[in-house]
């Protein structure tokens, strides 16, 4: 089997946790590193969650030392959304490993060189680590095959009217990545919503017993309870999980190539991903924007994940 070398850049986070679990259940992925960044909660929590989760699942990879704050904007988190410690109060066991000696951006270029152009990156949080790497190592643009990001929206935001959280946290980093020339797939709020799950689907999939049922069951219940009881939503879109599924199997996703730029200055729309869906700007598309994903195939991937952790 020819494996796909990948680096997961993330800010765990309840939704990142499920996405990492999904990635680790696919042996065709060669997970070279998990690089944490500040985002959903502060860096102290996201970094420990990444380290401990990799250890708990048994992912043999490097865990880098990432950015503790955005490039320019003040550090802003969403602790109220993700709960105590970022995992809804769940306490992962202490890790039996330590962080890599190198920073996330150095690991990124090292692994890109080692993969000789085959490395893919999936970013589930603010893109600070990626932007630092691209700024420090200009040659990196030619060494990464593709970047898939859970970021943005072609419609409305979830942090201000226009901005999705990951981009809002570090819009300057987003703009550096989007203008890098690297092939990019953007799985935003509106596209991911095609895979929103109701209570029956959430419970039927994630409450099944398996090796990781404690953490998977806890975080999935926390997400859905927050959405239905606190925010009065009829269903839950686990955005990082949909993004990871589209990354693993791009055939479930329908993308539209568009020119996309990120608003970094506006007082009312900072963090907005300005998506030229109708190609009126005349600018060459730089991002493949997710329009929808096949929900039935997405749900089947989740069932197969639970089967994997029952058997392994």
Q: Which of 96, 221, 239, 312 is catalytic?
A: 239
Q: What's the angle, vertex CA 61, arms to CA 55 and CA 63, rounded to 5? A: 75
Nearest to 237 by CA among 168, 303, 150: 150
Secondary structure (DSSP) of 212-239: THHHHHHHHHHHHHIIIIIS--SSB--H
Question: Strand pairing partners for 140?
Answer: none
Which phi and psi angles does 151 have, rounded to 5°?
-165, 150
- 172 is a catalytic site residue: no
Quick check: 64 and 99 in contact, CB under 8 A? yes
CA dihedral sign, ordered 34, 29, 198, 271: positive
Burial class from Cβ neighbours inside 10 Å (0-12, 13-18, 19+) for residue 2 reads exposed
Closest CA to 117 of 31, 10, 5: 5
Looking up tokens 């309840």 gives 14
- Catalogue the active-site residues: 239
């Amino acid at each position: 089997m020819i494996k796909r070398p990948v680096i997961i850049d993330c800010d765990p986070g309840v939704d990142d946790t499920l996405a990492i679990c999904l990635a680790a259940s696919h042996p065709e992925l060669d997970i070279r590193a998990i690089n944490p960044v500040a985002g959903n909660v502060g860096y102290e929590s996201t970094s420990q969650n990444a380290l401990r989760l990799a250890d708990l699942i048994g992912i043999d990879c490097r865990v880098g030392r990432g950015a503790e704050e955005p490039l320019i904007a003040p550090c802003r988190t969403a602790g109220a959304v993700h709960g105590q410690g970022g995992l809804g109060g769940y306490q992962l066991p202490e890790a039996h490993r330590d962080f890599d000696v190198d920073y996330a951006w150095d690991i990124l270029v090292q692994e890109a060189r080692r993969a000789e152009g085959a490395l893919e990156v999936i970013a589930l949080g603010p893109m600070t680590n990626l932007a630092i790497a691209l700024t420090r190592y200009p040659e990196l643009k030619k060494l990464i095959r593709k970047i898939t990001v859970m970021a943005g929206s072609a419609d409305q935001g979830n942090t201000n009217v226009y901005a999705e959280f990951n981009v809002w946290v570090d819009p300057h980093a987003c703009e550096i990545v989007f203008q890098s020339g690297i092939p990019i797939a953007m799985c935003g709020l509106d596209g991911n919503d095609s895979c929103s799950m109701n209570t029956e689907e959430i419970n039927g999939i994630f409450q099944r017993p398996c090796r990781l049922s404690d953490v998977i069951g806890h975080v999935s219940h926390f997400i859905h309870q927050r959405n239905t009881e606190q925010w009065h939503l009829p269903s839950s879109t686990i955005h990082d999980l949909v993004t990871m599924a589209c990354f693993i199997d791009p055939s479930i996703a329908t993308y539209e190539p568009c020119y996309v730029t990120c608003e970094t200055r506006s007082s009312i729309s900072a963090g907005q991903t300005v998506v030229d869906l109708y190609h009126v700007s005349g600018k060459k598309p730089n991002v493949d924007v997710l329009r929808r994903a096949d929900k039935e195939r997405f749900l089947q991937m989740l069932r197969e994940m639970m089967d994997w952790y029952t058997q392994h």
